[in-house]
Structure 1
Amino acid sequence: MDSAQYPFGKIHYLFRKADHANWQRQESKRHILRSQLGFTDVVSTRPKPCVGCANYHGMAYGYSREARTPLICGFHPYGWQSESACPDWCGV
């Protein structure tokens, strides 16, 4: 971009860079606080038959929070519903 067309480009870049550094610093402080309070203990949302499976997808699709539907894997979109081992399980 030509400096004659956008004379404040460098200043705009520096402000965005400083803003990002400030955001990163705040996120780091929040992460430290969460770890001190014990909020980093993550509970797996992966269904038990899908643990370690290479076919696991686990993404939710939809435009609103209420309409989102999770896609567990391509073989079993809602996850393996039986207590027995999944016949399509493939280790990583």
Structure 2
Amino acid sequence: MHYFFRKAEHARWQRQESKRHILRSQLGFNEVTPSRPKACVGCANYHGMAYGYSREARTTLICGFHPHGWQSDTTCPDWCGAH
């Protein structure tokens, strides 16, 4: 039963994100700053999905190596170009 509630919540969230994406493209919000960390641009290990049941509890998983993203100014040692 809990599975169906999570599935419905995810479908609702996906619809909202789709509507926001369409609205931004129509209104000229293409210049929105990217949420991807600079160290992760072009990396094949980037995941970037948010997990959690509420907005307050939701966290973004950046990648499997560095869940909160690479925290140093140096180049990420696990960076891998897209294949």
Q: Distance in 2 between matches of 1:82 and 1:29?
A: 35
* Segments ≥4 residues shifted beyond 2 Å: 28-32
1:46, distance to aligned residue in structure 2 (A): 0.5
Partner of 1:59: 49
The count of residues paired between Structure 1 and Structure 2 equals 61
Q: Distance in 2 between matches of 1:29 and 1:52?
A: 26
**TM-score w.r.t. length of structure 2:** 0.66
Partner of 2:76: 86
> What secondary structure sits across from 2:39 in the alignment?
helix
Measured against aligned partners, the alpha-carbon deviations of 1:10-69 in whole angstroms (never above 9, x if no partner) come to xxxxxxxxxxxxxxxxxx79854x03xxx2223211001101000000011000000001
More strand by percentage = 1
Partner of 2:34: 44
Give unpaired runs (5+ residues) of structure 2.
1-21
Q: Which structure has the larger Rg? A: 1
% same residue:
70
1:81 is matched by which residue type in structure 2? Q
Match of 1:69 among 49, 59, 62: 59
> What secondary structure sits across from 1:57 in the alignment?
coil
Q: Distance in 2 between matches of 1:29 and 1:76?
A: 32
Give unpaired runs (5+ residues) of structure 1.
1-27
